Amino acid sequence: MNKAICLKVEGLSKRFGGLAANEDIHFSVEEGEIVSVIGPNGAGKSTLFNCVTGFYKPDRGSVFFYGKNITGMRSDRVCNLGIARTFQIVEVISEMTVLENVTTGALLRYRRIKPAMEKAGEILTFTGLYDKRHFLGTELTIADKKRLEVSMALATAPRLLMLDESMAGLTKVELREIIDLIRKIRDKGMTLIIVEHVMEAVMQISDRVVVLNSGKKIMEGTPKEVCSDREVIQAYLGEKYSALVK
């Protein structure tokens, strides 16, 4: 069965002065897949996200979303086309309630407040934050803030959701919940790209894993393939981890 190509990145490069944050990166994501991007700190994962979502302009290379060239497109237009994302350092509107935060996202697809707010209510029920809808953005725990950020991203009705370290700093229980949420999102037919350090989660949910090191893609494959790759072990996972997998 041939599935549609959701995202295609071709020869993407981005330099900051003398530092090559992304160098000639190629990969593609099929519709409905969960693809993880892993690698040590400074490998260029967030830069890659920023290049895809229009926050940075890549120096070279192209990004295609369902065949449409979106290279260097303004970030709000990228969002409008159907790519939503979260940030490594969580971003919510602190002076708004949870419901208003998500409503702001839903307003991308609705002109009036009322239907947008209804949509926001549905999404909060889906993500499990509905009971806290009247809390202010600032009053949430870090886990709930991350959940809120995901809810806001979902409210823009994306086809591709990109999560930047949504699991960092969470407890085991919270981790379990967010993994369930990600699976639920995928079951709704959405495609997901996630940047993650929590390997336990990456192994569980990813269909494929892309490994970056010093700005370059060093490996791509199923979680199992990646775990047994010598280069990946040396660059990122460490000997101890690979021993555990075996």
Partner 1 sequence: MPNFPMRQIIAGFAILLLLIVFPLVISQPFHIHVMILVFMFGMLGVAWNILGGYAGMFSFGQAAFFGIGAYTSSYLSIAYGINPWIGLVAGGCAAALVAAAIGYPCSNLRGHYFAIASIAFAEIVRIVFNNWQLVGAAEGLSLPMQNESFSNFLFNSSKLPYYYIMLAFLLLSLAVCYFIATSKMGYYFRAIKESHKIAEVLGVNVVLYRLMAIMISAFLSAMAGTFYAQYILYIDPGSVMLLATSIQIVLISMLGGAGSIMGPVIGAAILIPASEYTRVALGFKGTGMDMLIYGLLITLISMYYPEGVWKLLSRLGRQLK
User: At closest approach, how far in Å is the CB of 196 from partner 1?
Assistant: 19
> Of 31, 29, 28, 27, which is closest to residue 3 (Cα–Cα)?
31
Of 22-30, 52-60, 208-216, 223-231, the window that binds partner 1 (rule: CB under 8 A) is 52-60
Of 7-15, 97-105, 198-206, 212-220, the window that binds partner 1 (rule: CB under 8 A) is 97-105
Judged by CB under 8 A, the residue of 37, 107, 198, 233 near partner 1 is: 107
Under rule CB under 8 A, residue 187 binds partner 1: no
214 CB neighbour count, 10 Å cutoff: 15
Judged by CB under 8 A, the residue of 76, 173, 188, 189 near partner 1 is: 76
Under rule CB under 8 A, residue 96 binds partner 1: yes
Judged by CB under 8 A, the residue of 105, 182, 215, 235 near partner 1 is: 105
Interacting positions 113-132 with partner 1 (CB under 8 A): 113, 116
User: At closest approach, how far in Å is the CB of 80 from partner 1?
Assistant: 5
Q: Which three-class secondary structure state does DSSP give residue 191?
A: strand
DSSP designation for 159: S
Using CA atoms, how far apart are residues 86 and 137, in angstroms rounded to an integer?
A: 15
141 CB neighbour count, 10 Å cutoff: 11
Judged by CB under 8 A, the residue of 36, 46, 71, 103 near partner 1 is: 103
Q: Beta strands 83-85 and 34-38: pairing type?
A: unpaired
The residue with tokens 């409905």 is: 32
Compute the CA torsion angle 128, 133, 137, 139 (nearest 10 deg): -90
Under rule CB under 8 A, residue 58 binds partner 1: no
Number of residues that bind partner 1 (CB under 8 A): 31
The residues, any chain, with a CB within 8 Å of residue 198's CB and separated by 6 or more, are 167, 168, 175
Which spans of this chain sit near partner 1 (rule: CB under 8 A)? 53-55, 74-76, 79-80, 84-85, 87, 91-96, 100, 103-105, 107-108, 111-113, 116, 152-153, 155-156
